[in-house]
Amino acid sequence: MEKITVSLGERSYPITIAAGLFNDPASFWPLKAGDNVMLVTNQTLAPLYLEKLSTLLTAAGVKVDQVILPDGEQYKTLAVMDQVFTALLQKPHGRDTTLIALGGGVIGDLTGFAAASYQRGVRFIQVPTTLLSQVDSSVGGKTAVNHPLGKNMIGAFYQPASVVIDTDCLHSLPPRELASGLAEVIKYGIILDGEFFTWLERNLDLLLTLDTQAMAYCIRRCCELKAEVVAADERENGQRALLNLGHTYGHAIEAHMGYGNWLHGEAIAAGMVMAARTAEGLGQFKTDDVDRVIALLQRAGLPVHGPEEMKAEDYLPHMMRDKKVLAGELRLVLPLSIGRSEVRSGVTHDRVLAAINDCQKS
Amino acid sequence: MEKITVSLGERSYPITIAAGLFNDPASFWPLKAGDNVMLVTNQTLAPLYLEKLSTLLTAAGVKVDQVILPDGEQYKTLAVMDQVFTALLQKPHGRDTTLIALGGGVIGDLTGFAAASYQRGVRFIQVPTTLLSQVDSSVGGKTAVNHPLGKNMIGAFYQPASVVIDTDCLHSLPPRELASGLAEVIKYGIILDGEFFTWLERNLDLLLTLDTQAMAYCIRRCCELKAEVVAADERENGQRALLNLGHTYGHAIEAHMGYGNWLHGEAIAAGMVMAARTAEGLGQFKTDDVDRVIALLQRAGLPVHGPEEMKAEDYLPHMMRDKKVLAGELRLVLPLSIGRSEVRSGVTHDRVLAAINDCQKS
């Protein structure tokens, strides 16, 4: 069992990573007998895990209610979040309830924001079931729902009481979703850890076959890297923005194509190539390193071109809604080398458009 | 000009109280030239103040956009809050924007929650225009919207950057709204300050005629009392719950009668009498003091009986959804004497029903 602590003073919390965690109620610390729980999951995961978890916790003396939401990024909305509030109020659950988010990033982000907002804040436990959410969205307390005019525009910084990562969940994950998670994994290597990037180049095939040991190491390393960044910068004033490599471009793809048509990791993969090309154009990132990034993403089965339907000009209006925009100016996360990156402002729109054009399928 | 500081460490903020604040852009600290503002108000207040404030701030170099919401408690919803997000995203406003809440409690609570949630938190300034919001909801950082199954069930603890109280606003306030504010004013006397209660008994007529000096003193004293409580207990774990005197009963009235039919202060006035009767029944509050409470509320033009349409039994299901309920047990704020109160659990439902019955119009 791998265990990490995210250090945030009185909001510190543990992340537990292992196979078989769903077989032991102790995994779900700090739940104890007598507690009330609202288990939030989606229609795809409910038949796989809901009965098992519900039975496990009930046997441990926890009172379990549940709410099952439709599956998909398009349901990460205020209106769907309201269904969670309705379920909580119908029982009713009090301020001493605990929300469990059982699912990927959509369930985690939405349930986290629901927990932050229900009665102005109740406890919640993240149980991420996708690789993407295991290495990314379950760590760091960013919760949110989407708005038709922008992704993750409504939310809160709100930390879980604990994160429970059962790697067995990955066996039920579709290959596209696995690849989408690998995009975020590769991102950590590019922005923060050149050695880890090299490890990924050597071990990607093991990850693609869900080798237990390799996968556990990979998830732990990503969580560690993210936990370090978050601990240093909980509210994303500085270094934490680095985690957004590829996201400014990628969010534009997701928004333009309609949420859910391109998976988050797919959009971020193409976005990271665009960021790499932007950095290359500025003379701060070597062409050889661009090629290493592209090669690794391609081996993971990820797109390295933007969508054919989308012109370079289509990106900018979406990019200008990015949360990093300050005083109307774009700020981009750009790599300096594999393992080192920076937030940079003052990049001209022409430079950004040229890099996006470089990433069009020819 | 009266000035108070709410002491909450790095989240401390000033409250400024005076007539004529809307004539001086310096009132709206910390706004400065070059800032972006989204002014949020309602259809009733917009014709009275929007052009004046917008012109004032624009002349001071602030870029002002505005969103006008429908007026009424029934619009304090997630769906209406979404209109604020849409307005912000259409421009678009970035993370460096400031929301100004110009209105009563509904606008303040909704705009505060919107500010807490937009891009996970932007700055906001409270400009309360009703007596109720001036003495209550603008101080303390409780923001929320309602759910059909419960009032203020969805929200955040989020502090404003400053609170600007222009007492001139009270001249446009309907008499029922003024009385509703006086209910909260009287509440402070009962729970925390017997001397202030006596001052109110002597000066109520001046307040009813909007005497500038008496009103400024009254608002300052209420804000001071609330600021002290909030500073000691920002997240409502202990003493802050005292501010809920009458609210557990009153929220039941509001929910049962449909939000907006009984004004908040009217429901809280009847609720305070019910709490006083409950405490009297427990032998911890003198009958003479119950009579003083009733007399002062009546002089303010407030109801001291529950709605005729509502039976005692109708209250309990609503009361059990109160945020103070812990482990399924009701916890009530009850007076001990005029100026002293406590949070008490273990009061039987029969005792509560008897007190409510005592407050039925015979």
B362 has pLDDT over 90: no
Supply the pLDDT for residue A59. Answer: 96
DSSP letter assigned to residue B322? -
In chain B, whose CA is at the least distance from the CA of A121?
A: B156
Q: Which residues of B touch A157 (CB under 8 A)?
A: 120-121
Confidence of residue B138 (pLDDT cuts 50, 70, 90): confident
Query: What token pair was written down for B181?
Result: 């504010």
DSSP letter string, A265-278? HHHHHHHHHHHHHH
In chain B, whose CA is at the least distance from the CA of A115?
A: B154
Residue type (1 letter), A12:
S
Confidence of residue B72 (pLDDT cuts 50, 70, 90): confident
Supply the pLDDT for residue A237. Answer: 63
Nearest C-alpha neighbor of B163 from the set B132, B131, B139, B184? B139
Q: Which residues of B touch A86 (CB under 8 A)?
A: 147-149
Percent of chain B with pLDDT over 90: 80
Q: Which residues of A touch B95 (CB under 8 A)?
A: 323, 325-326
A298 or A234: which leads in pLDDT = A298
Mean pLDDT of B16-30: 92
Residue written as token pair 């390193």 = A289
Mean pLDDT of B168-188: 95
Mean pLDDT of A295-311: 97
In chain B, whose CA is at the least distance from the CA of A235?
A: B120
Nearest to B119 among A82, A116, A153 (CB): A153
In chain B, whose CA is at the least distance from the CA of A237?
A: B95
Query: What CA–CA distance (Å, rounded) separates A44 from B259?
Result: 38
Task: Please tell me the distance in Å from B341's CA to the nearest CA on chain A.
Answer: 23
Percent of chain A with pLDDT over 90: 80
The residues of B annotated as belonging to the active site are 120, 142, 184, 226, 236, 240, 244, 247, 251, 264
Supply the pLDDT for residue A236. Answer: 63
Cα-Cα-Cα-Cα dihedral sign, residues A192, A198, A201, A207? negative
- This model of the complex carries an ipTM of 0.84
Nearest to B147 among A89, A156, A325 (CB): A89
What tens digit of pLDDT does each residue of B217-228 get? 999 999 999 988
- The CA radius of gyration of chain B, in Å to the nearest whole number, is 20
A299 has pLDDT over 80: yes
Supply the pLDDT for residue A4. Answer: 87
CA distances from residue B282 to B275, B328, B337, B351 in whole angstroms, order as listed? 11, 21, 13, 8
Q: What angle do CA A175, A176, A181 make, to 5 degrees?
A: 95
Nearest C-alpha neighbor of A79 from the set A128, A114, A29? A114
The residues of A annotated as belonging to the active site are 120, 142, 184, 226, 236, 240, 244, 247, 251, 264
Task: Please tell me the distance in Å from A80's CA to the nearest CA on chain B.
Answer: 11
DSSP letter assigned to residue B71? P
**Contact call for B92 and A149, based on CB within 8 A:** yes
Supply the pLDDT for residue A235. Answer: 65
Query: What CA–CA distance (Å, rounded) separates B190 from B183?
Result: 11
Q: Which residues of B touch A81 (CB under 8 A)?
A: 78
Other Cβ atoms less than 10 A from the Cβ of A351: the count is 15
Mean pLDDT of B121-136: 95
Strands A331-337 and A340-345: antiparallel
Query: What token pair was written down for A339?
Result: 């393992």
> All domains of chain A, ordered by start, with CATH?
2-172 (3.40.50.1970), 175-358 (1.20.1090.10)
Query: Which residue in B120, B324, B330 has the most chain A C-beta atoms within 10 A of its own C-beta, making it the best mutation to test that interface?
Result: B120
**Contact call for B94 and A323, based on CB within 8 A:** yes
Torsion from C-alpha of A349, A354, A355, A360, nearest 10 degrees = 130
Nearest to A120 among B96, B119, B157 (CB): B157
Supply the pLDDT for residue B235. Answer: 65
Nearest C-alpha neighbor of B106 from the set B13, B180, B6? B180
Query: What token pair was written down for B127?
Result: 């400009």
What tens digit of pLDDT does each residue of A308-351 get? 999 999 999 999 887 777 777 899 999 999 999 999 998 999 99
What tens digit of pLDDT does each residue of B272-310 get? 999 999 999 999 999 999 999 999 999 999 999 999 999
Q: Which residues of A touch B82 (CB under 8 A)?
A: 78, 147
To the nearest whole number, what is the mean pLDDT of chain B?
93
Mean pLDDT of A39-55: 96
What tens digit of pLDDT does each residue of B315-332 get? 999 998 877 777 778 999
Supply the pLDDT for residue A221. Answer: 95
Q: In DSSP terms, which residues pair with A144 in a beta bridge? A: A155
Tally C-beta pairs within 8 A across A and B: 103
Nearest C-alpha neighbor of A157 from the set A97, A107, A117? A117
Nearest C-alpha neighbor of A29 from the set A125, A121, A141, A95? A125
Mean pLDDT of B27-45: 96
Strands A36-42 and B123-128: unpaired
CA distances from residue A96 to A38, A99, A121, A123, A279 in whole angstroms, order as listed? 11, 10, 10, 8, 49
**Contact call for B82 and A147, based on CB within 8 A:** yes
A3 has pLDDT over 90: no
Nearest to B89 among A81, A86, A153 (CB): A153
**Contact call for B147 and A85, based on CB within 8 A:** yes
